[in-house]
Amino acid sequence: MEPPQEDATRDDIIDSYIKTLAQVVGSEEEARMKIYSVSTQHYYAFGALVSEELSYKIKDLSGVRWVLPDSYLDVKNKDYGGEPFINGQAVPYDPKYHE
């Protein structure tokens, strides 16, 4: 994703991810349930479980820099990296997610 405005809060950044994904999945609630990871610090991105067809639609949205297939940063622990997003909510921020 394009970097947010300097004064954007973590919640603002996450909301922009939800709104972006909602454009292709139909609703913000559905988008929340598809997102599994967000990054709101050193890079700006989110991970979501979507079909390959939807990934092409996401790639064409304003503010989206690129779309990459899923890959684990830590295969042993099945960790995608970033800040976990569980049941439609981001977990409280912890610097360990960006180590």
Delimit the domains of the chain by residue range: 10-88
Calpha distance 94→68 (Å, rounded):
24
* Dist CA 12 CA 72 (whole Å): 26
Only one residue has tokens 């690129």, namely 66
pLDDT value of position 84? 85
pLDDT surpasses 60 at 18: yes
Condensed to tens digits (0 to 9), the pLDDT of residues 41-92 reads 888 999 999 999 999 999 999 999 999 887 766 656 666 667 888 899 998 8
Task: Tally the C-alpha atoms within 13 A of residue 71's C-alpha that lie toward its C-beta.
Answer: 4
Q: How far apart are CA 21 and CA 27, in angstroms?
A: 8
